[in-house]
């Protein structure tokens, strides 16, 4: 049984891991491992943090020799005990959160909620088809999307969750970034118009000779008309396209503004003497004397 001191170390280590920037989990893990100096405590005590991080980040999971396209690790397809569900292939699989590898594939008999898969498939498949095309049009090869279905535990209504993840990891250039968005549609029986609830998150970490992070998010709510499955799916993705394009443009404009104001203010425009250095008279300065060959 872990002591109070060990429990506190696990809590602190878990917080470090959960706040690791995108693409830098392994680096944070290695640092935490050195700090704890106890691999058994790290593995057993922080296992929940490993899983939670991957679910929070919508980590893509490739199902080798099973699925052409990767799925996502999220709270919506979590069976528990390390097993997840791919809605495209209806395969259940075990996921190693440290190695980020899928294995032990089996045909799924039901959704993580325990309900039959077929109950939600017509609309789920229609949304998935439109989402796949949207990714091709707007995210090139860097995007992954998955649509999960089930009954909302709080309302008892049929619920569809569309998740999108896209990342660019450039450690050689000292920056990493990830885009995540999640869109929820609840379809109460008999309703002709419902809310599409969305949340978009962007996180970028730049660390060349410094440490700067951009973390931004936006909550969105739009009405969707419920008609036939294909038309409803098209309207959902049309709204997503409009909102994500608008948000991406706003972030870009804000970044341009910050480049000339906020970031500029972070740097001292003049030295502590409040006068510019006269480089032609550098030898008269103390630093010039120190730099002169002896």
Break the chain into its structural domains and give their ranges: 1-50, 118-262
Residue 286 has pLDDT above 60, yes or no: no
Residue 44 φ/ψ, nearest 5 degrees: -80, -40
User: What pTM was computed for the model?
Assistant: 0.86
- The pLDDT of residue 230 is 97
- The pLDDT of residue 253 is 84
How is domain 1-50 classified at the architecture level of CATH? 2-Layer Sandwich (3.30)
pLDDT-derived band of residue 140, with 50, 70 and 90 as boundaries?
confident
Residue 6 has pLDDT above 90, yes or no: no
- Do domains 1-50 and 118-262 share one topology? The answer is no
Class of domain 118-262: alpha beta
Give me the percent of the chain exceeding a pLDDT of 90. Answer: 73
Kindly state the average pLDDT of the residues 106-130. 95
């Amino acid at each position: 049984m872990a002591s109070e001191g060990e429990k506190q170390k696990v809590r602190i280590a878990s917080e470090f891991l959960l706040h690791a920037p995108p693409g830098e989990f392994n680096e944070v893990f290695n640092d935490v491992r050195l700090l704890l100096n106890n691999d058994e405590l790290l593995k057993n005590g922080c296992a929940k943090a490993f899983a939670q991080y991957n679910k929070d980040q919508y980590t893509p999971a490739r199902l080798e020799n099973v699925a052409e396209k990767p799925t996502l690790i999220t709270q919506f397809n979590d069976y528990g005990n390390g097993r997840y569900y791919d809605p495209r292939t209806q395969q259940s699989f075990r996921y190693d959160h440290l190695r980020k590898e899928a294995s032990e594939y089996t045909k799924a008999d039901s959704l993580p909620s325990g309900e039959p898969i077929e109950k939600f498939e017509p609309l789920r498949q229609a949304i998935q088809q439109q989402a796949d095309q949207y990714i091709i049009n707007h995210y090139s090869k860097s995007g992954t999307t998955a649509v999960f279905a089930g009954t909302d535990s709080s309302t008892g209504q049929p619920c569809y969750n569309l998740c999108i993840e896209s990342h660019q990891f450039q450690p050689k250039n000292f920056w990493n970034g990830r885009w995540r968005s999640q869109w929820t549609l609840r379809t109460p029986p008999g309703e002709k118009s419902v809310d599409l609830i969305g949340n978009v998150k962007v996180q970028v970490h730049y660390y060349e000779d410094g440490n700067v992070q951009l973390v931004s998010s936006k909550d969105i709510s739009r009405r969707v008309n419920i008609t036939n499955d294909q038309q409803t799916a098209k309207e959902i993705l049309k709204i997503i396209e409009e909102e994500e394009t608008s948000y991406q443009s706003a972030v870009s404009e804000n970044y341009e503004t910050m480049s000339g104001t906020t970031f500029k203010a972070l740097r001292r425009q003049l030295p502590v003497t409040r006068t510019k250095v006269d480089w032609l008279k550098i030898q008269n300065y103390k630093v010039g004397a120190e730099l002169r060959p002896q």
